[in-house]
Structure 1
Amino acid sequence: MKGNRKYIAILAAMIIAFGLIEYYRPKPIDWRITLSNKDKIPFGSYATFELLKDVFPKQSISSSRLPAFNQLTETNNNKGNYIFVTSYFAADENDTKELLKFVAKGNDLFIAATTFNGPFADTLKVHTGADFEEKQYVTKLLNVGKGRNFKFISPRENSFFDSLNHKTTVVLGRKSSGKPDFVKIKHGKGHVYLNVNSTAFSNYFVLDNATKDYAFQCLSYLPIKQVIWDEYTKQGRVGEDDVFRVLMEHPSLKWAYYIMILGIIIFIIFESKRRQRIIPIITPLPNNTLEFTKVVGALYFNKGDHHDAALKKINYLLEFIRTKFFERTNVIDDEFIEHIAEKTGWDKVKTKQLFEMIRWIKSRPEEYLLSEADLLLLNDLIEEFFEFVKK
Structure 2
Amino acid sequence: MKSRLIIGGAILIVVTFLFLILNKLLNSEKKFDKSFTVSRYSYKPYDCKFFFDELKRNAGEGFKENNISFELTQLGEGNTTNTSYIIVSPKFYPTSFAINHLKAFASKGNNVFICAFSLTAELIDSLYSSPQKNNLSVSFPPYLIESRWNVNWNGEDSTQTQYHLWGHKPITAVLDSIYLPGNDLITDIDTLITDNANKIQMLEIECGYGRIFLCNNPILVSNYFLLYQDNYTFFNKIADKINLAENNIIWDDYYRTVNSLDDNDSTGIGRSEVFRVIFQNPPLVWAFYTFMAGIALFLLIYYRRIQKPIPIYSTPKNNSEAYISVVSGLYWQQQNHKSIADKIIGQFFEYLTHNFHIHIKDFQESELEKISLKTGRSLESIREIFDEITLIKSQEEITKQSLMSLYQRINAFYQA
2-side partners of 1:228 and 1:218: how far apart? 15
- Partner of 2:73, secondary structure, is helix
* CA offsets 1:74-107 (integer angstroms, 9 cap, x no match): 9999761111122333322011011111112221
| Aligned counterpart in structure 2 of residue 69 of structure 1, from 67, 71, 75 | 71
What's the % identity of the aligned pairs? 21
* Equivalent residues of 2:99, 2:123 under 8 A apart: yes
* Equivalent residues of 1:82, 1:229 under 8 A apart: yes
Post-superposition offset of 1:49: 0.7
1-side partners of 2:127 and 2:99: how far apart? 10
The aligned residue for residue 149 of structure 1 is: 162
The aligned residue for residue 241 of structure 2 is: 221
- 1:260 matched to 2:291? The reply is yes
Post-superposition offset of 1:222: 0.2
2-side partners of 1:111 and 1:185: how far apart? 11
Post-superposition offset of 1:194: 1.5
Letter of the aligned partner of 2:217 in structure 1?
N
* CA offsets 1:104-162 (integer angstroms, 9 cap, x no match): 22211011223432322101115466899987643221227743211345542155533
The aligned residue for residue 95 of structure 2 is: 92
2-side partners of 1:8 and 1:74: how far apart? 65
User: CA 1:7–1:95 in 2, change beyond 3 Å: closer, same or farther?
Assistant: same
* CA offsets 1:154-199 (integer angstroms, 9 cap, x no match): 5421555333445521332334454443222121221111123321
User: CA 1:9–1:174 in 2, change beyond 3 Å: closer, same or farther?
Assistant: closer
User: CA 1:126–1:136 in 2, change beyond 3 Å: closer, same or farther?
Assistant: farther
User: CA 1:90–1:251 in 2, change beyond 3 Å: closer, same or farther?
Assistant: closer
Q: Which runs of 5+ in 2 are unaligned?
A: 181-186, 260-265, 299-416
* Largest Rg, 1 or 2: 1
Q: Which runs of 5+ in 1 are unaligned?
A: 268-391
User: CA 1:4–1:256 in 2, change beyond 3 Å: closer, same or farther?
Assistant: farther
* Equivalent residues of 2:144, 2:168 under 8 A apart: no
The aligned residue for residue 302 of structure 1 is: none
Greater CA deviation, 213-222 or 71-80?
Answer: 71-80
User: CA 1:9–1:208 in 2, change beyond 3 Å: closer, same or farther?
Assistant: same
* Equivalent residues of 1:36, 1:235 under 8 A apart: no
Normalization by structure 2: what TM-score?
0.52
- Partner of 2:46, secondary structure, is coil
Letter of the aligned partner of 1:26 in structure 2?
N
* Equivalent residues of 1:182, 1:195 under 8 A apart: yes
Greater CA deviation, 31-40 or 102-111?
Answer: 31-40
User: CA 1:54–1:220 in 2, change beyond 3 Å: closer, same or farther?
Assistant: farther
The aligned residue for residue 119 of structure 1 is: 122
User: CA 1:215–1:164 in 2, change beyond 3 Å: closer, same or farther?
Assistant: farther
The aligned residue for residue 22 of structure 1 is: 21
2-side partners of 1:83 and 1:74: how far apart? 14
* Equivalent residues of 1:92, 1:118 under 8 A apart: no
Normalization by structure 1: what TM-score?
0.55
* Equivalent residues of 1:36, 1:231 under 8 A apart: no
The aligned residue for residue 199 of structure 1 is: 219
Map residues 1-391 of structure 1 onto 2, 5 A cutoff: 15=14, 19=18, 22-23=21-22, 25-27=26-28, 29-56=32-59, 58-72=60-74, 80-125=83-128, 127=130, 137-143=149-155, 146-152=159-165, 154-157=168-171, 160-165=174-179, 167-223=187-243, 224-236=246-258, 245=276, 247-250=278-281, 253-257=284-288, 259-260=290-291
The aligned residue for residue 286 of structure 1 is: none
Post-superposition offset of 1:33: 2.0
